[in-house]
């Protein structure tokens, strides 16, 4: 006779938690279950612990790989041969997932299985209690609504309440037939790694599930670990993964005929919070330099969907990004944080030393709008009359027409530098800055004179303005290189 539930677990170096996970199954009030464990090349005692449990309890199977996420063809074939005997309706009616650092309520099998059988459900969704591993404090609680979805008929408010519980694999029962279909409707293509469970669950909901039931009880316990793989992998690819998950969320809403303004707003909020969580993890990371953190944050605004979200959640987005940038910069000295102004996001939120009037503020902000990395011209709403994608237009708008007086001032400045009369050279520079601040020569003079007086901060800030407006100019690029050599 087929078992009621077949659990699957992937484990890697989980010796600290895996006993609690397995004990939560052994303690089930309904004992008709089995579990398959993949030991993914653990280098601690995880594999040994699993083998001891398997020796004592014939419901527990453990398959050992030699290296984590680097399986040989022989290993894969061996696992598939063994799984062929149990991954079928004749062996188990339903499938569930248990992470090696999580655990289930003792009534998980009893409650979820009886619900599944009562409604002939393809997916049963239970609730989750999250707790922080470091201090055991209570985190979020996700409780799905008590609902039955038949043939994609669901109210938008119920979909919104259910969505958070839908996203992970764990905390659910899947009919074996639906589980076996998931890789056909949502095959792994490499586009999504983190969040692939969300992708597959939503695809299953769309194409494999006639009946979905929510159980408004917390039957799963999720451990929040700051050092977990999910929180430690901070690849910019995860922004793109968020966009793909948003797209499948939209697809799900459309299939269920609930793609309304409120559902669209909800999915925008889910994506927005996803990006905020990634940025927060980067800011708090102990393994990233300040430059790497700023680069990671700046990449968020290269994602069109996140840029759209910054216009929808404008105040929240601006405040959050400002706090994130300032948190990264707060431990740096003045010159080190100044060097990070090569990133336009830092120029937005870190007031420059050279700014002491409205004209300079305007130039600084224009350097943000014209930065080639500012793909969607974040901040352009402040200057609607300027085509922020064209530096020539901005230079023309800021600079006065070049006159003979300007040409004379440049010559006098050069002569003053040659004579060592730096005070007079600075007077001429201030005149040029007041009328042609974005002139190529003016910027070169400003960098050079700041180096002469050892004001490296102002020299670097000017260099970053020049880099934006005179990109590709050899004299400017040579001067910028000189600035950074001396600043270092």
Q: What is the pLDDT of residues 406-439, one digit of tens each?
A: 999 999 999 999 999 999 999 999 999 999 999 9
Mean pLDDT of 311-335: 92
Does residue 147 have a pLDDT over 80?
yes
d(CA 260, CA 250): 10
- Say which residue the tokens 């995860």 belong to: 238
Instruction: Please report the DSSP string for 132-147 in residue order.
Output: ETTT--EEEEE---S-
Angle formed by the axes of helices 156-166 and 261-284, nearest 10°: 30
CATH number of 1-101: 3.90.550.10
Residue-level pLDDT at 394? 83
pLDDT given for residue 185 in this prediction: 92
Domain 398-487 of CATH type 1.25.40.10: yes
In the numeric block, the tokens 């409205």 are attached to: 358
Residue 356 predicted with pLDDT over 60:
no
User: Nearest CA to 367 among 355, 487, 356, 333?
Assistant: 355
Q: Where are the domains of the chain?
A: 1-101, 105-233, 249-379, 398-487
Within 10 angstroms of residue 69's Cβ, the number of other Cβ atoms is 9
pTM over 0.75: yes
User: pLDDT digit string (tens) for 261-286?
Assistant: 999 999 999 999 999 999 999 999 98
CB neighbours of 376 closer than 8 A, spacing ≥ 6?
301, 304, 307
Residue listed under structure tokens 């998950």 = 245
- The answer to whether residue 233 scores a pLDDT higher than 70 is no
d(CA 402, CA 165): 64
> Which helix (H) or strand (E) is 218 found in, with range?
strand 211-224
Cα separations (Å) of 279 from 195, 274, 337? 16, 9, 19
* pLDDT tens-digit map of 97-146: 999 999 999 999 999 999 999 999 999 999 999 998 877 777 789 999 99
Half-sphere exposure of 213 (CA within 13 A, CB side): 18
Asked whether the predicted pLDDT for residue 230 surpasses 60, the reply is: no
């Amino acid at each position: 006779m087929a078992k009621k539930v077949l659990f699957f677990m992937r484990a890697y170096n989980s010796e600290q938690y895996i006993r609690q996970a397995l004990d939560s199954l052994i303690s089930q009030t309904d004992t008709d279950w089995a579990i398959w464990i993949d030991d993914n090349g653990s280098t601690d005692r995880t594999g040994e612990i699993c083998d001891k449990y398997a020796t004592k309890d014939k419901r527990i199977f453990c398959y050992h790989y030699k290296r984590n996420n680097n399986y040989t063809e022989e290993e894969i074939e061996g696992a598939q041969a063994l799984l062929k005997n149990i991954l079928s309706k004749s062996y188990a009616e339903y499938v569930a997932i248990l992470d090696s650092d999580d655990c289930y309520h003792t009534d998980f099998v009893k409650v979820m299985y009886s619900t599944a059988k009562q409604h002939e459900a393809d997916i049963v969704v239970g609730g989750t209690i999250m707790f922080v591993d470091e201090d055991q404090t209570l985190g979020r609680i996700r409780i799905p609504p008590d609902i039955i979805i038949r043939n994609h008929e669901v109210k938008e408010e119920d979909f919104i309440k259910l969505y958070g519980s839908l996203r992970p694999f764990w905390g659910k029962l899947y009919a074996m037939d639906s589980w076996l279909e998931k890789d056909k409707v949502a095959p792994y293509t490499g586009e999504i790694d983190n969040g692939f469970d969300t992708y597959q669950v939503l695809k299953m909901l769309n194409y494999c599930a006639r009946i979905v039931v929510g159980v408004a009880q917390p039957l799963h316990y999720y451990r929040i670990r700051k050092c977990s793989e999910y929180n430690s992998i901070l690849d910019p690819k995860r922004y793109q993964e968020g966009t793909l998950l948003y797209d499948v969320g939209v697809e799900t809403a459309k299939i269920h005929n609930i793609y309304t303004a409120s559902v669209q707003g909800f999915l925008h909020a889910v994506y927005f919070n996803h990006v905020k969580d990634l940025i927060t993890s980067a800011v708090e990371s102990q393994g990233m330099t300040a430059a790497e953190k700023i680069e990671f944050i700046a990449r968020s605004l290269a994602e069109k969907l996140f840029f759209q979200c910054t216009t929808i959640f404008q105040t929240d987005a601006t405040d959050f990004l400002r706090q994130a940038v300032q948190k990264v910069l707060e431990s740096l000295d003045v010159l080190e944080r100044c060097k990070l102004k090569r990133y336009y996001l830092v120029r937005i939120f870190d007031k420059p030393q050279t700014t002491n009037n409205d004209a300079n503020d305007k130039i600084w902000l224009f350097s943000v709008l014209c930065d080639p990395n500012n793909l969607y011209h974040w901040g352009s709403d402040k200057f609607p009359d300027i085509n922020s994608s064209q530096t020539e237009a901005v230079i023309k708008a800021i600079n006065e027409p070049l006159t003979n007086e300007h040409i004379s001032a440049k010559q006098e400045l050069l002569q003053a530098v040659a004579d060592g009369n730096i005070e007079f050279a600075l007077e001429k520079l201030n005149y040029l800055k007041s009328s042609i601040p974005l002139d190529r020569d003016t910027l070169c003079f400003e960098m050079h004179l700041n180096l002469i007086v050892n004001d490296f901060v102002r020299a670097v800030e000017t260099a970053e303005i020049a880099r934006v407006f005179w990109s590709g100019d050899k004299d400017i690029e040579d001067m910028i290189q000189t600035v950074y050599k001396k600043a270092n």
